[in-house]
A and B are shown apart, each in its own frame.
Chain A
Amino acid sequence: DAKTTQPTSMDCAEGRAANLPCNHSTISGNEYVYWYRQIHSQGPQYIIHGLKNNETNEMASLIITEDRKSSTLILPHATLRDTAVYYCILTSGTYKYIFGTGTRLKVLA
C-alpha cells in the first residue's frame, strides 16, 4: 500500500477555512484517497473520499492534484467542534484501510 505524509499539527481560527494537506507521491492508479477524523478517543468518522476528481459534501471538500500525488481537505468554516486528528488514507483492492499518524487540527476561538 502506498503511504501518505501529513503535517503533525495545524491551527486554524474559528470561522476560517482549514486546509489540511496530504502527500501521496507513490499513489497508484486504482487507489482512492479517503479522509477520516477522530475526535478525542472516539471511533474514526468518515469525511470524504475521491479517486481523481475533486469532491464536495456537506462536511468538506477534497481537492486532488492532477498528477494525484497530493490532496487537500478543506473544511470551509471551521468550528471548535472540528478540533480533531485528521487522517489521510489510501485504499485499493487490497481491502485494507491503513492509517498513518494524521494531522492534529486545533481550531482556535
Chain B
Amino acid sequence: NAGVTQTPKFRVLKTGQSMTLLCAQDMNHEYMYWYRQDPGMGLRLIHYSVGEGTTAKGEVPDGYNVSRLKKQNFLLGLESAAPSQTSVYFCASSYSTRGTEAFFGQGTRLTVV
C-alpha cells in the first residue's frame, strides 16, 4: 500500500518549457488535490477534483491545468513554465472532507530557470 505517490521528485525546467506532474493514489479516494508551497509559506490550493472526470479551481489556478481521467491519477500540467512557478508541489487525496483525513505525497521540488 503506497498511499500517495508523486512523480517526479525533482525537476529543473527552462522558462517556457512544459511538463506534467503525476499524482497516483491507491486508496480508492474520490477527492484529490494539488497544492504549491513557497518558502516560508503555507500550502496554497491550485486545483482539486471531487471524482473521476471532474476538476475545479482552487486558490491559485492560473498557469496550471489538471486532468483526472482515471480515479487513481491526478495530473498537474504547466504549459509554459515561468520562474514564479518555482515551488514545492504537493498532491493529496481523501475519501471526503467531512470526518476523514487527507493523505499527502512527499512533494515535487520544481525549479524554473
Summarize B's interface: helix, strand, loop or mixed. Answer: strand
State how many residues of chain B have any CB contact under 8 Å with chain A. 30
A44–B97 CB distance below 8 A: no
Interface string of A72-109 (1 = CB under 8 A from B): 00000000000001010001111111111110000000
Q: Which B residues form the contact surface with A (CB < 8 A)?
A: 4, 31, 33, 35, 37, 41-45, 48, 50, 56, 58-59, 88, 90, 92, 94, 96-99, 101-107
Q: Is A49 a contact of B41 with CB atoms below 8 Å?
A: no
Interface residue from A87, A91, A95, A98 paired with B59 (Cβ < 8 Å): A98
Question: Could you say which of B35, B37, B99 contacts A51, with CB atoms under 8 Å apart?
Answer: B99
Chain A nearest CB, measured from B41 CB (Å): 7
Q: Is the interface of A mostly helix, strand, loop or mixed?
A: loop
> Roughly how many angstroms separate A35 CA and B45 CA in the complex, as a whole number?
17
Q: How far is the CA of A83 from the CA of B60 in the complex (A)?
A: 29
Contact partner of A93 (CB less than 8 A), chosen from B97, B101, B102, is B97
Residue of A nearest to B100 (CB): A49
Closest Cβ of chain B: how far from A34's Cβ, in Å?
Answer: 7
Count residues on chain A whose CB falls below 8 Å from chain B CBs. 25
Could you list 15 further interchain pairs (A-B, Cβ under 8 angstroms) beyond the known A43-B90, A44-B92, A92-B97? A30-B98, A34-B101, A41-B107, A42-B106, A43-B104, A43-B106, A44-B43, A44-B90, A87-B43, A93-B97, A97-B97, A98-B45, A99-B44, A99-B45, A102-B42
